[in-house]
Amino acid sequence: MLLIFNSQPSNRADYIFHLIMGELLGIEHKVVSDPDQFGSFSGPKFSYGSEPLADEVFLQSAGLLSENGFSRGEPEMAGKEGSMVLFPVRHPASALPFDLFSASFYLVTRYEEYGSVTRDEHDRFLPENSIAYQMGCHGTPVVNRWALSWAEVLRERFPDLPGAGTKFTFLPTLDVDQAYAYRYKGGLRNMGGLVRDLLHGNIPDTVQRYRVLTGLERDPFDTYDYISAIHEKYRLRPVFFILLGDHGPNDKNISYTHPRFRELIQKLAKDHEVGIHPSYASFTSPERLKTEIERLAAIIGREVTCSRQHFLRFRLPQTFRDLADLGIRNEFSMGYAQEPGFRAGICTPYFFFDLTVNRTTPLRIHPFTVMDGTLADYKNYTQWQAENAVLELLNEVKTVGGTFISIWHNESLSDQKRWHGWRGVYEKMAQMAMAEGSAMF
């Protein structure tokens, strides 16, 4: 066991020590605040504070973990491009030139997002406003890297220090925003779509709609057989997130009451984890959120514990509080729509720490790395560019033994229209990831 001396114990310190030392490095540890107890311990140990006690491994604290609330402004950055760090420290005895525990805490708790004012048209925190983006490291899981660097420091002093760390895994996830493009949407919606296509001169869609509705052609969003086959081929079990909100401008799934839609959901839930995809309209309505979770639970006949926000809309801490209060235990929205990479600087699931009440919650955050719409719509990548981007991100996650979580949609696996050729990107991602291993959620 490794002993940690911290003269100012706090919930924040306990949280980040457990995440870094326990979950990322797999090192059994104990935190003490008694210098005599620390001094008499003969095993591996390090101290964390303003000054070392003797000649032990020492890391200078920047003070964030002993604070309350989230009043601190933007932290100091140091270093050069490609190797910048947060919370630099200057004590000559410090084993690292920065406080990796404060830096990691700042990123994974999303400290900078609390009370953020500048947001996009969907009320989302912008990646360019993040400190990781400004440091040029939003494409790197820096928290995982810092943890591994700290393990190297400790093992230089304690070569026999045990610790298993984490292993690379791949977890594909799929959002079902619209289960079908044309089928089961009702006469009025299809008539409206038909008129709209005709007014815009969109003859191919008009023809396709007619062929699908008359049974001459498969619905383009009905990709579930392909999804099943591709995951069976690579022995993967994806997580599905189903939108069950009432119809609206940004919520366009078919009615949750439709027997064919319910049958589809039950089929998916038979062999896979199925979570709720809270509607755009539920973002400001805990009542709607509760209703949608109850709808899914009634359809699949079991408790709903997984969730991902539609449009990736969330505000801290309220959105995560609402989800946890309704029984959600696994949240999958931590990432940006506009940029691939690592919003929280980490590629390993971790528990959400609520800064407003200064405590760890039971809600586990599963940060994703890449989304189809980010690559195709925001970055305007070709399939070749998308494959290269995915490979680069995969290598980042593999290097630190993290979990690579992807977001795709049943629509984007249609291999039609703007998604023509993107099945190839998905399969290439699965091939590259499965060269190492898979995650079974």
The per-residue pLDDT for range 4-63, each reduced to its tens digit, is: 999 999 999 999 999 999 999 999 999 999 999 999 999 999 999 999 999 999 999 999
At 331, the amino acid letter reads E
CA distance readout (Å), 27 to 1, 55, 62 = 7, 22, 23
Residues near 389 by beta carbon (within 8 Å), at least 6 away in sequence: 340, 370, 375, 379, 381
At 382, the amino acid letter reads T
**Where does the pLDDT of residue 437 fall: very low under 50, low under 70, confident under 90, or very high at 90 and above?**
low
Instruction: Find the helix or strand (DSSP H, E) in which 59 lies.
Output: strand 57-60
Q: What is the pTM of this model?
A: 0.95
CB 18 within 8 A of CB 9: no
**Where does the pLDDT of residue 439 fall: very low under 50, low under 70, confident under 90, or very high at 90 and above?**
low
Burial label, 97 (beta-carbon count in 10 A; 0-12, 13-18, 19+):
middle
Q: Is a pLDDT exceeding 70 seen at residue 195?
A: no
Task: Dump strand ranges (E) for 224-380.
Answer: 239-242, 273-276, 306-307, 330-331, 350-354, 359-365, 370-371
CA distance readout (Å), 103 to 42, 76, 358 = 29, 10, 17
Instruction: Kindly list the domain boundaries of the chain, sorted by start residue.
Output: 2-157, 169-181+219-434, 184-217
The per-residue pLDDT for range 59-95, each reduced to its tens digit, is: 999 999 999 877 777 899 998 766 789 999 999 999 9
Q: Taking residues 146-169, what's their average pLDDT? A: 94
Q: Which fold has domain 169-181+219-434?
A: TIM Barrel (3.20.20)
